[in-house]
Amino acid sequence: MWGVRAQPAPPTYTRPYSSRFRFSVQSGIIKQMNKTVTGAYALAAGAIEAGASIVTGYPGAPTTAVVNHILELSSSEQVQVEWTSNEKVALEVAFGASLGGKRSLVCVKSVGLNIALDPLMAFNLSGCNAGLVILVGDDPGGWGSQNEQDSRGLAIAAEIPLLEPCTTSDAREVMREAFRLSEELGLPTVVRFIRALATAETEYRDAENVAELSGQQPPSYRRDPMRWVVLPINVVSHHLELKQKMDTVRSRFEVSPLNSAEGNASHGVIAAGFIYSKLMENLSSKGSRELSVLRLATLNPLPHDLIRTFLEGKESIIVLEETAPILERAVRGIAQGAGITLPIYGRDTGHVKWAGELFSPQIADALNRFLPNLDIPREGEDDRPRPSREPLCEGCPYIPVFEALLEVIEEHGGREEVVIVGDPGCMVRGQLSPYEIMDVKHSLGSSIGMASGIALGLIGRCEGRRVVALCGDSGFLHSGLAGLVDATRMGVPVLIIVLDNGLTALSGGQPHPASSVDARGVPQRAVDLVEMARISGVGELWEVDLDRGEDIRSAIERGMDYRGTGVIVARGRCVHWSFK
């Protein structure tokens, strides 16, 4: 949903969250006055206690909540927070800050790591300077995402360390350990967490043993010829150095207190990350004595010796993880390499459901398939609300835009004659009745590029059909602009409607480079979306201010009649979030 561009008078900013905790910060160490906090809060506290002074990212649940808490718990002098145009830029800025001598934290959601993977696959070879941690929020079940990818696979591909808290109380220490590891070995390090950890609550205790990290100055920039330059001539040597660093990390993970083995039963469960907490809830009333449990928070590289020791003497093993069977397959390889023969169950064997988040009922089902005599009761919820299934807010400017678009489409031959390509964001709520607005929708900022391809594909086949791309202002800045540049270069017949509110609404009202204020509400120079579109070489360009009652229907009619690349930039105030 959308709000208007900045007015001449400096705006005041209403943060998209409310202060829930009393706190004080002394030398980077947070002292909590209340007793219960969420996992997102604990991750934020750990980053501040580790001395992170640059935080970059792109909004997206569940990671946005962590950034909101960092804003709560720190001042602008202590931590600079920047919502960048996309995740690639966020990682590049944070990496540069690390080289310059500041500990940096990058905050992205699962699909955002895909965007950042390009620079990461070279940053791993040169390494970082000051601590650089990438906080990735995965979304098993796809409750607020277009997929339910498992980001562990990307960390494995990048050959960098990955940790995941097993409990909310571990979250602070996992974050601090990630910064220590990154800075000591010069490696970007990933902390993965899932939505369930972000919302789970834990008791907060005053920080202990953090002064040695937050009190130390990170290494400053020093010129080191070829260290920060990755070229074909040194790729192999850099890769060998990376292998040596990861061997060191593995040795460190073998003895990490973040991992632990519990019980001495002959049947075992290996739990990866926060699934351990979900497991223990199921075992609290029954089954704990019949099972040994290995909890793993250090997931790349895996502590092979620790896992092998746990497997020895066991009759069978089940692996619980979310979502891909990455650990399950690795455990089979470790067992084979050690000559240990035992059945290892999980998603691959059908004992754990293949897709979706694991709630208490699914975990109970898996354990009962594993050992039927456990007879663990199937209790608890196995569902949660989906933001995309909520209707558009009453008074949302999307409503008249969608209505006008559908009315004009009827005048151009009906719905079958027009292909509408959308983006993530509030427009996904337009997929509900009565609009059902989108025919195609995938990743953020992709609507313009996909619409261009569809338009090209229709040439010579369905000449009468029109193609419309719907793109939010945040998606346009994220990667839509590049699609527009190529669309105008190719001269494709497509109408692009950019919905401009000056903020990122569905994820919580965060600012972006076209916003009037920054993450802390300080007025900033906002980039001009209209000028960006004009400079791209677009054939026709229309601006519509919905708050002033300007006619969106007539602009859409002209855009539908235009046979080149046309752009409508429509502005209207979001009724939920705004910069006041």
302 pLDDT higher than 90: yes
**Dihedral of the alpha carbons of 13, 15, 21, 23, in degrees to the nearest 10:** -50
- Taking each helix axis from N to C end, the angle separating 110-126 and 235-254, rounded to the nearest 10 degrees, works out to 110
Query: Exposed, middle or buried: residue 194 (CB in 10 Å: 0-12, 13-18, 19+)?
Result: buried
- The mean pLDDT of 132-158, rounded to a whole number, is 93
What's the pLDDT score for residue 285?
Answer: 60
- Residue written as token pair 């609404």: 505
What domains can you pick out in the chain, each with its CATH number? Answer: 35-254 (3.40.50.970), 260-374 (3.40.50.920), 388-571 (3.40.50.970)
User: Backbone phi, then psi, for 528, in 5-degree steps?
Assistant: -100, 110
Quick one: three-class SS letters along 463-496?
CCCEEEEEEEHHHHHHHHHHHHHHHHHHCCCEEE
Looking at the DSSP assignment, which residues form a beta bridge with residue 294?
A: 261, 270
407 pLDDT higher than 70: yes
pLDDT mean across residues, the chain: 89
Q: How far apart are the C-alpha atoms of 283 and 158, rounded to whole Å?
A: 35
212-267 pLDDT tens trace: 555 688 988 888 888 889 999 999 999 999 999 999 999 999 999 999 999 999 99
36-53 pLDDT tens trace: 999 999 999 999 999 999
What's the pLDDT score for residue 213?
Answer: 58
Q: Can the peptide bond before residue 488 be classed as cis, meaning omega within 30 degrees of 0? A: no
524 pLDDT higher than 90: yes
Model confidence pTM above 0.85: yes
In the chain, % of residues over pLDDT 70: 90
Q: What share of the chain is helix, strand, coil (3-state, %, to 5)?
A: 40, 20, 45
* CB contact at 8 A, 59 and 82: no
In sign, the C-alpha dihedral spanning 222, 227, 230, 231 is: positive
Range in 53-57, 249-253, 498-502 with the lowest mean pLDDT: 498-502
Range in 7-11, 78-82, 330-334, 400-404 with the lowest mean pLDDT: 7-11
In the chain, % of residues over pLDDT 90: 70
- The mean pLDDT of 324-350, rounded to a whole number, is 97
Locate 175 and state its tokens.
């974050």
What's the pLDDT score for residue 400?
Answer: 86
Locate 329 and state its tokens.
């397959």
Is the model more confident about 515 or about 88? 88
6 pLDDT higher than 50: no
Residue 459 amino acid letter: I
Is the model more confident about 344 or about 18? 344
What's the pLDDT score for residue 515?
Answer: 86
Question: Given pLDDT bands bounded at 50, 70 and 90, which one contains residue 208?
Answer: low
Q: Three-state SS for 523?
A: strand
Question: Given pLDDT bands bounded at 50, 70 and 90, which one contains residue 28?
Answer: low
Locate 336 and state its tokens.
């084979």
Q: How far apart are the C-alpha atoms of 323 and 319, rounded to whole Å?
A: 11
For the residues of 111-166, what is the DSSP string, one character each?
Answer: HHHHHHHHHHHHHHHH--SS-EEEEEEE-TT-SSSS----THHHHHHHT--EE--S
Shortest CA distance to 266 belongs to which of 378, 376, 377, 373?
Answer: 373
Distances (CA, A) of 24 to 29, 67, 71: 8, 17, 13
Q: Three-state SS for 334?
A: helix
What's the pLDDT score for residue 496?
Answer: 97
129 pLDDT higher than 60: yes
Looking at the DSSP assignment, which residues form a beta bridge with residue 269?
A: 293, 318
485 pLDDT higher than 90: yes
Question: Given pLDDT bands bounded at 50, 70 and 90, which one contains residue 145?
Answer: confident
151 pLDDT higher than 60: yes
